Structure 1
Amino acid sequence: MRVKDAPRAPACFPAVDTYCGFLSLPTELRCHIYDYLLAEPHAITISAGYTTIFGHRIRDKARKVDVPGLPLDLAPIVRSNHDAALLSVATPPEVALDKEDAWTGGKPQLQLPGPLALLRTCRMVNDELKDYMRGRKARKAARSKETPTAADDTEGLSLYVSYPHGVLVLNHLYPSLLKQARRVYISGYYTSAKESDLPVNASLDSNADLSLTPQSSFAATPVRSMYHATANPTPCLRSSRTRLRLDPPPQRQAPPTKSPTTFPAFDKSTSSAALAALEDTLRVLFSSTPAPTPSAPPQLISLQARILYPGAESYSGVWSDESSPVSHLLRGICGGKIDMQVKRGSLGCGVTVGVAPQPEKRVVSTSWENWRVIEQAPVGLNGRRMTGRGREVRLSDLDQFLTEV
């Protein structure tokens, strides 16, 4: 007689040490820790750099993290501080693949600030910290009737994002940072999307292949007929003697206007993806839905954008171009005090857009000026400083316009 197997007892897992020293602290002490973390200023810079190997730029087709719209010769870069070099145009950043410490498989490692790291620890800390943040906003609103500005309030997270590549990286890899950002700085340049041009010697004529050169004219094979084939072909005489037909000499044309290589044109896919990412960013920062607590101030206290339009005749593209980032900024901001400054120079047009969120109204002011740099005059023999003179804008001035805060 076969003995039935006894039911097996459930497997006993080893006891896991679930003790957490932070959660064992009294609630009052944890709130003090939250207060210190929220008051500490943090900065994150998001951009993209050219991928290089041994100093040569390459197209990384084996990139593990695919950011829609980001060209293959660029790689995402994120720094846990304010790094103005990532926003530079004169000396664009680079990612060297031959250095082990500069490459992490395609996705940069980001060291999160204290509040963001605590929000991702566990559900209990997440709920407690969010509740404390809502109460902290209400207390600050009760103490001051006026909305705080960026000059008065320096705490919280500040995002420094390049355009258009940094906006693509932020929207695809780190969209959660927008919910915690107190200040957002967008800096970059815009050029019209490049078209696929035909070669200089290309011709749209179907008989362009019949054009002969001195090298191909003296061939042993007879030249084929120069007439098109018809439905009822008529006999034509074909001579075995070679014929020579030279192309007309190229006419001298005025040299084309040389555009600076510092501002290369973007592809259409990059330009359209950057505009879509910019719209998503503005939709998160300037939500049209009312806040849960009307008395609480908004999370974002300032948005500043610096967009450069290269070229002496680029002013019309600021307003007439449908893909202009400035026009998308104006359409995407539902409410706030918008202060715009337009600088027109010989090398380009610089536009600065400063926004202070105000959900109940929208005010737009614009000022124009000629972009000239005033140099400091030397001191005269009498000890008095002479009057400074203005000079034309240089490439270093354009780069300083994009990197300064």
Structure 2
Amino acid sequence: MSFLELPLELRLIIYEYAAVEGAAVTIGACELTGTGPDLVHRQYGDKRAPLPGLPPLHEPVILEGYSSRLLSISDPARIDVSSAPRPQDYLGETHHSTLSSLFLLNHQVHAELSTHFRVKNNRKTSLFIQFPLGLHVFKTKCPDFFRQARSIHIAGSYPKSVTAEQPLHLEQLAHLVSATLGKAPRYPIEKLEARIYFPGNDSYPRVWDDSSPASVILRNVCGGFIDMEVARGRHGTGIYVSVRPHPEHKRVISTVWRRLVEGDSGQPDCGDWAVDKQWPEWNTEFTPSSPLP
């Protein structure tokens, strides 16, 4: 007996088990390096095309599991296409949502999932999203990961100069926050974390600009325990925003300031602060950063 000959009720149970993702998924984009012909083949060979919205010579990466390298600012992940000719050869096999793959199987499965299937509220997956390019990859390549997300963790850098894509990335961040922690969220989660680094010794005022990621998060959280840490240093500023749902949809905000030590001899590299050393482990409650010397 083939799978499609099974009773619909049994197929729906199988769909439910198949749709549950792993404990962590990391989403971002990598710069491509290598020789000219290899770069062209990587992006356009076998009827491929670059993902619109990414910078030139960048490729979306969706990984099952946690990858601090994909989130790194100081040592960003790159793909040498001359030594890694196939996309799945880098950082482990490229992972796509099981649910989105099921939708693509055939018309009957697509119709059954669309009409009868509802993912139960047994969210177990933590999403680790590179800022800002990972937001674009998430929105365009795997938005159905919302259905399995228990928590969302964002890490990255906010550039000094305004880019053409910046409004789009901030709009995607606003959508993510409102969908998970807004008024009557469609995909409620247990916790949102964002660790954003602002490079430059004059970066502190930019943290509080109306268009900064911190301001976008605050505007789109309708109720929650909002804990913020601001780390100020000689070479840059980091802001850590932690948001947990409030049972009465109230906004409770606390902010602390810390010193950021980085960039000089014997100190962490600039931007290392953005990737939490505890990840992929995290606590439902707010956990302050360890005080710096």
Question: TM-score scaled by structure 2?
Answer: 0.74
Q: Identity rate of aligned residues, in percent?
A: 27
| Residue 339 of structure 1: how far off its partner (Å) | 0.8
Alignment of 1:163 onto 2:148: no
Asked whether the equivalents of residues 22 and 30 of structure 1 are also in contact (C-alpha less than 8 Å), the reply is: no
Asked whether the equivalents of residues 182 and 220 of structure 2 are also in contact (C-alpha less than 8 Å), the reply is: no
Question: Which residue does 2:252 correspond to in 1?
Answer: 363
Residues 1:22 and 1:371: Cα distance change in structure 2 (over 3 Å): farther
Question: Which residue does 1:19 correspond to in 2?
Answer: 2
| Residue 162 of structure 1: how far off its partner (Å) | 0.7
Structural mapping, 1:1-400, within 5 Å = 19-20=2-3, 23=6, 34=16, 38=20, 41-54=22-35, 64-68=49-53, 70-98=54-82, 99-102=84-87, 109-113=94-98, 122=109, 123-124=111-112, 129-130=117-118, 133=120, 156-193=124-161, 268-289=163-184, 299-319=188-208, 321-358=209-246, 360-372=249-261, 394-396=267-269, 398-400=271-273
Aligned counterparts of 1:157 and 1:175: Cα–Cα separation in 2: 14
Asked whether the equivalents of residues 347 and 394 of structure 1 are also in contact (C-alpha less than 8 Å), the reply is: no
* SS of corresponding position for 2:189: coil
Q: Quick check: which one's strand share is greater?
A: 2
Residues 1:393 and 1:289: Cα distance change in structure 2 (over 3 Å): farther
Aligned counterparts of 1:92 and 1:57: Cα–Cα separation in 2: 21
Aligned counterparts of 2:5 and 2:184: Cα–Cα separation in 1: 35
| The structure with more radius of gyration | 1
Aligned counterparts of 2:56 and 2:67: Cα–Cα separation in 1: 23
1:336-384 C-alpha deviation (Å, 9 max, x unpaired):
11111111112211111111123722211111122248xxxxxxxxxxx
Aligned counterparts of 1:36 and 1:51: Cα–Cα separation in 2: 33
| Residue 394 of structure 1: how far off its partner (Å) | 3.3
* SS of corresponding position for 2:134: helix
Asked whether the equivalents of residues 43 and 80 of structure 1 are also in contact (C-alpha less than 8 Å), the reply is: yes
* SS of corresponding position for 1:178: helix
- Structure 1 letter corresponding to 2:64: S
Residues 1:120 and 1:129: Cα distance change in structure 2 (over 3 Å): farther
Aligned counterparts of 2:197 and 2:145: Cα–Cα separation in 1: 25
RMSD of aligned Cα (Å): 3.8
Unaligned regions of 5+ residues in structure 1, if any? 1-17, 137-154, 194-266, 292-297, 374-390
Residues 1:55 and 1:363: Cα distance change in structure 2 (over 3 Å): farther
Question: TM-score scaled by structure 1?
Answer: 0.55
- Structure 1 letter corresponding to 2:165: T
1:217-236 C-alpha deviation (Å, 9 max, x unpaired):
xxxxxxxxxxxxxxxxxxxx
1:94-124 C-alpha deviation (Å, 9 max, x unpaired):
12332322379xxx953435x6656766244
Residues 1:353 and 1:22: Cα distance change in structure 2 (over 3 Å): farther
Unaligned regions of 5+ residues in structure 2, if any? 280-293
Asked whether the equivalents of residues 132 and 169 of structure 2 are also in contact (C-alpha less than 8 Å), the reply is: yes
* SS of corresponding position for 1:281: helix
Question: Which residue does 2:282 correspond to in 1?
Answer: none
* SS of corresponding position for 1:396: coil
* SS of corresponding position for 1:185: strand
* SS of corresponding position for 1:269: coil
Asked whether the equivalents of residues 168 and 274 of structure 1 are also in contact (C-alpha less than 8 Å), the reply is: yes
1:233-281 C-alpha deviation (Å, 9 max, x unpaired):
xxxxxxxxxxxxxxxxxxxxxxxxxxxxxxxxxx521222211221222
